[in-house]
Amino acid sequence: MNREQLFQYIVKKRSFLCVGLDSDPSLFPASVASEKDSIFKFNKAIIDATHKYAVAFKPNLAFYEAEGASGWEQLERTVEYIRSVDPTLFIIADAKRGDIGNTADRYARAFFEKMDADAVTLAPYMGRDSVEPFLKFENKWAILLALTSNESAVDFELDIYKKVIAKGIEWGSSDKLMFVVGATRPERLAEIRSLAPDHFFLVPGVGAQGGTIAEVAAAGMNSKCGLLVNISRNIIFAGKGENFAVAAEKRAAEAALEMSEYLNSAGI
Amino acid sequence: MNREQLFQYIVKKRSFLCVGLDSDPSLFPASVASEKDSIFKFNKAIIDATHKYAVAFKPNLAFYEAEGASGWEQLERTVEYIRSVDPTLFIIADAKRGDIGNTADRYARAFFEKMDADAVTLAPYMGRDSVEPFLKFENKWAILLALTSNESAVDFELDIYKKVIAKGIEWGSSDKLMFVVGATRPERLAEIRSLAPDHFFLVPGVGAQGGTIAEVAAAGMNSKCGLLVNISRNIIFAGKGENFAVAAEKRAAEAALEMSEYLNSAGI
């Protein structure tokens, strides 16, 4: 999928919602937690309930790796299931990988060939070598951490995020590369939009971390939308009990409705 | 294992060699490649051949993830096998993870509880949040990327590696935290040793990438050795054919012999 195709999908669905599959088994309701493949079962229910309102799903690798080989297998099944529900859904492996060239090449093949994700999140620390192998795959995306939503982004990111944006634009066109820009610093989001007018931003930090869709849309939207707003816990754990899927659907629908209004206002 | 225990293990084995298990199936000899669990079989042969000369093994996660759930399962078996051969061997999951607190906590549990690795490599880009969860586990280690061995380390690392060293020392004592410092820039290695006199360094870049053990020992050794020098391809793929384990043993023995001389010279 290239940028125009992603944009058209957003236009069609009236949403730029990415549902984050931070599927933490300790928060599953009892009926799901007791299943052997509880992560996949939970994800399937969430995907069924929310896919109408979302353009993307983002499994957070940590929650799968924490279960070892079984977790990895459930991650693979989750990706396959998303594809089977709607092949156009944009699948982001939130892996934050970053390693030297020959190793990065392996990671790219793990996520793009073995797993059929559309995009992988990458940490830029090690520079160009660690990003380029991901840009060689047609219609696949590298999503580079720029300024993240966590408190300690101030430790190092503030020193170099502008350089990361500049280098990222040099390395990858807006058809292949996005940036992660947190929702928790809207003033910086507006500044980063001016530095990277065409590139899509994957925006975490809405909900549990305190950012809002309104601020993100105001600061970050461009003529091709240019935003994928991720919500994880606030959707998938909206309901704590057996009605979790209904609660997730309600929350996803609310988010999508709000997004459709910002798209309308922008004439998209 | 704390720093003193690691040092005593180095003293006993007269080596500070870490064997990197970058186990790339496309480079396996035919007899191994044809096996269903070829990565584990290859690793087992390498571990049997080299463990006498090494104090650490470092599986590079990318090569396991590239095989999906089966690769992850072979990684788990590899870690178990290393433990069964010699429980003191230091096992480094070369994962270069880095994510917000609740996610980092999951990764820590994945590698320290589910897998029983001694250490995990971490990318510092996202700051303190992404490192602290790994420091809460007793006798386990976080290994923070500081200045890596790849060419494009110049892109961002040169701007902030001194700050990474300073913050890392603030976050984690020399019993819990190491730094990755590449062998390909020995002058910087000496400088970083002066910034972090007590902390262990994990040093990649010897062999295939051009660094030498002699330069690393001269620039980086401290009174508790303070070095784990990693060699991957130059050992595990020293022989291309069916004699790969014999060739690996020979190369590991040579490296350990050279290391023992530097330990002797330093009065260790």
**pLDDT number for residue A252:** 98
Of the candidates B69, B127, B153, the beta carbon closest to that of A76 is on: B69
On whether any CB of chain B is under 8 Å from the CB of A226, the answer is no
Confidence of residue B57 (pLDDT cuts 50, 70, 90): very high
Q: Does the structure show a pLDDT above 90 at B210?
A: no
Give mean pLDDT, residues B28-51. Answer: 97
**pLDDT number for residue B71:** 96
On whether any CB of chain A is under 8 Å from the CB of B98, the answer is yes
Active site residue B96: yes
A34-47 pLDDT, tens digit per residue, is 999 999 999 999 99
B212-231 pLDDT, tens digit per residue, is 999 999 999 999 999 999 99
Confidence of residue A64 (pLDDT cuts 50, 70, 90): very high
Confidence of residue A51 (pLDDT cuts 50, 70, 90): very high
> What integer best gives the mean pLDDT of chain B?
96
How are beta strands A227-231 and A17-21 bridged, if at all? parallel
Interface test with A, best of B27, B99, B135, B209 (most A CBs within 10 A): B99
The alpha-carbon gap from B67 to the nearest alpha carbon of chain A, in Å, equals: 7
A190-242 pLDDT, tens digit per residue, is 999 999 999 999 999 998 788 999 999 999 999 999 999 999 999 999 998 89
| Whether the Cβ atoms of residue B236 and residue B248 lie closer than 8 Å to each other | yes
pTM comes to 0.96
Q: Does the structure show a pLDDT above 90 at B9?
A: yes
Q: What percent of chain B has pLDDT over 90?
A: 96
**pLDDT number for residue B40:** 98
> What integer best gives the mean pLDDT of chain A?
96
Q: Does the structure show a pLDDT above 80 at A121?
A: yes
Q: Does the structure show a pLDDT above 90 at B208?
A: no
Of the candidates A72, A125, A157, the beta carbon closest to that of B157 is on: A125
**pLDDT number for residue B207:** 83
Residue B84, C-beta contacts closer than 8 angstroms, at least 6 positions apart? none
Q: Does the structure show a pLDDT above 90 at A151?
A: yes
Q: What percent of chain A has pLDDT over 70?
A: 100
ipTM comes to 0.95
Q: CA-to-CA distance for B91 and B89, rounded, in angstroms?
A: 6
Least confident of A12-16, B64-68, B179-183, B208-212: B208-212
Give mean pLDDT, residues B139-159. Answer: 96
| Chain A 126-145, residues with CB within 8 Å of chain B CB atoms | 126-130, 145
Q: What is the 3-state secondary structure of chain B?
A: CCHHHHHHHHHHHCCCEEEEECCCHHHCCHHHHCCCCHHHHHHHHHHHHHHHHCCEEEEEHHHHHCCHHHHHHHHHHHHHHHHHHCCCCEEEEEEEECCCHHHHHHHHHHHHHHCCCCEEEECCCCCHHHCHHHHCCCCCEEEEEEECCCCCHHHHHHHHHHHHHHHHHHHCCCCCEEEEECCCCHHHHHHHHHHCCCCCEEECCECCCCECHHHHHHHHCECCECEEEEECHHHHCCCCCCCHHHHHHHHHHHHHHHHHHHHHHCCC
If you search the block for the tokens 């931003």, which residue do you land on? A201
CB burial of A155-184 (b: ≥16 within 10 Å; e: otherwise) equals bbbeebbeebbebbbebbebbbbbbbbbbb
Confidence of residue A137 (pLDDT cuts 50, 70, 90): very high
Domain map (residue ranges) of chain B = 3-265
Residue B240, C-beta contacts closer than 8 angstroms, at least 6 positions apart? B27, B29
CATH pick for B3-265 out of 1.25.40.10, 3.20.20.70, 1.10.8.10, 3.40.50.620: 3.20.20.70
Q: Does the structure show a pLDDT above 90 at B239?
A: yes
| Chain B 21-60, residues with CB within 8 Å of chain A CB atoms | 22, 24, 60
Confidence of residue A9 (pLDDT cuts 50, 70, 90): very high
On whether any CB of chain B is under 8 Å from the CB of A96, the answer is yes
- Indicate the SS3 state at residue A184: coil
- Which residues in chain B touch residue A128, judged by CB atoms under 8 angstroms apart? 152, 155
